[in-house]
């Protein structure tokens, strides 16, 4: 067994869609980024890549590469899962936390779990997603951005 950790932050801005775990969430702002800026998916990918010592998504999908402009992070996650599989690893489980003051995300969490699990080719019960606020403190508390943490356990086949 191997474990990995991922962390990501994106800035909230006007005129962008808010996509978390592949779910399009109605909100007055969205996350800024080269891809769809799905901060949750990015943290999960970095946790998986970290567990396999395969670097990070910045190395795999550079934001200087036009191929990844507006990219669907669920497709990138699928690619990461395939990469792990090619190296003989299987996803054990993933646990992630979204840090956001707003919007309220609890209703969207089941769909996020389903989307992440589907992209990784595992059952949804292997994927946990939680959401918390930081009590109005710091950049998440002020609504400047959203952060996500993830840990992943992978097994050598
Ligand atoms: Mg990112």
| 4-48: pLDDT as tens digits | 999 999 999 999 999 999 999 999 999 999 999 999 999 999 999
Helix (H) or strand (E) holding 55: none
Say what the pTM is: 0.97
Q: What integer pLDDT is reported at residue 63 of this predicted model? A: 87
Measured in angstroms, how far is the CA atom of residue 38 from the centroid of ligand 1?
7
CA distance 46 to 57: 6
Measured in angstroms, how far is the CA atom of residue 132 from the centroid of ligand 1?
19
CA distance 6 to 136: 23
Measured in angstroms, how far is the CA atom of residue 1 from the centroid of ligand 1?
26
Contact 61, 35 (CB under 8 A): yes
Contact 92, 155 (CB under 8 A): yes
Contact 76, 61 (CB under 8 A): yes
Measured in angstroms, how far is the CA atom of residue 9 from the centroid of ligand 1?
6
- Helix axes 39-51 and 109-120, enclosed angle (nearest 10): 40
Measured in angstroms, how far is the CA atom of residue 125 from the centroid of ligand 1?
25
CA distance 23 to 102: 15
Q: List pLDDT tens digits, range 42-71.
A: 999 999 999 999 999 999 999 889 988 889
Burial label for 44, CB within 10 Å (0-12, 13-18, 19+), is: buried
């Amino acid at each position: 067994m191997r474990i990995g950790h991922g962390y990501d932050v994106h800035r909230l801005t006007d005129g962008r869609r808010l996509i978390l775990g592949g779910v399009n969430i109605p909100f007055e702002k969205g996350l800024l980024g080269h891809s769809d800026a799905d901060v949750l998916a990015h943290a999960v990918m970095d946790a998986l890549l970290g567990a396999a010592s395969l670097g990070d998504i910045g190395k795999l999908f550079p934001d200087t590469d036009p191929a990844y402009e507006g990219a669907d992070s669920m497709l990138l996650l699928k690619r990461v899962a395939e990469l792990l599989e090619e190296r003989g690893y299987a996803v054990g489980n993933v646990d992630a936390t979204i840090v956001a003051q707003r919007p309220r995300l609890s209703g969207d969490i089941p769909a996020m779990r389903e989307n992440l699990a589907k992209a990784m080719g595992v059952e949804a019960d292997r994927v946990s997603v939680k959401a918390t606020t930081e009590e109005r403190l710091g950049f998440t508390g002020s609504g400047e951005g959203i952060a996500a943490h993830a840990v992943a356990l992978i097994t050598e086949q």
